[in-house]
Structure 1
């Protein structure tokens, strides 16, 4: 699978590189959360990602499955973090992304933030 804006986004998060994350989005992009029904603009999303980066020592995705659609792609993956306190946590995630000209214009993120699990193979 060729690199997608979503894979670049998660690579940027893994590196703690907010500028790389920002570069994945069109300026007018919307990021919607299924867990709270709130839609964020890019700057608000980046603020929340800065918080995530501060809370975690490491972040990555694994078990990535993507399906290209007419408007972008659907991606399922496991999002894994090691917190600053040393805890390991993971969540199953599904993202529906609209992409235009190589940039994300909309993300619908489906994740149960309360439903984390401790991954057995996340080292």
Structure 2
């Protein structure tokens, strides 16, 4: 298995378990995470806070229907995220373009529609 494939596996495993220590070791110090839905670039610290929050609110996360293409400078992955917790049963299709080497992630471009997640969280908060 290539180093990039191992980096990808470690990343998605850490996100699904809410393991920010592993995420911190995978993100390069200057990593940038961009989302299509707000066109904002996050720092690694902001991304880890968001992923930790997501794990608390909708974890555990499960990645299914995974299709990954390895590239010389990273990978592209399409998948469906199945959410848990108060969002159990919610499925969110997503795609990530990740720029990395066999040790660190330098940039992530995430394409996802967070609308269903936001609606579910708002509904559970109002109960």
Q: Same fold (TM over 0.5)?
A: yes
Please report the TM-score for the alignment, with normalisation by the length of structure 1.
0.83
Unaligned runs of 5+ in 2: 118-127
Normalized per residue, the structure richer in strand is 1
Q: Alignment length, in residue pairs?
A: 115
Q: Distance in 1 between matches of 2:65 and 2:87?
A: 22
Task: Spell out, residue by residue over 1:61-100, the C-alpha distance to the aligned partner (whole angstroms, 9 max, x if none).
Answer: 01111111232111111111112x3632111111001113
Is 1:114 the counterpart of 2:112? The answer is no
- Shift in alpha-carbon separation, 1:100–1:86, aligned structure 2, 3 A: closer
Q: Distance in 2 between matches of 1:44 and 1:26?
A: 13
> How far is the alpha carbon of 1:114 from its aligned partner?
1.5
Alignment partner, residue 96 of structure 2: 95
Q: Distance in 2 between matches of 1:57 and 1:34?
A: 22
> How far is the alpha carbon of 1:20 from its aligned partner?
1.3
How large is the RMSD of aligned CA atoms in angstroms? 1.8
Q: Distance in 2 between matches of 1:30 and 1:78?
A: 22
Unaligned runs of 5+ in 1: 117-123
Please report the TM-score for the alignment, with normalisation by the length of structure 2.
0.81
Normalized per residue, the structure richer in helix is 2
**Which one of the candidate residues 23, 43, 55 is aligned to 1:21?**
23
State the secondary structure of the residue aligned to 2:53.
helix
Task: Spell out, residue by residue over 1:17-73, the C-alpha distance to the aligned partner (whole angstroms, 9 max, x if none).
Answer: 111122221111100001110100100101111110110242110111111123211
Alignment partner, residue 77 of structure 1: 79
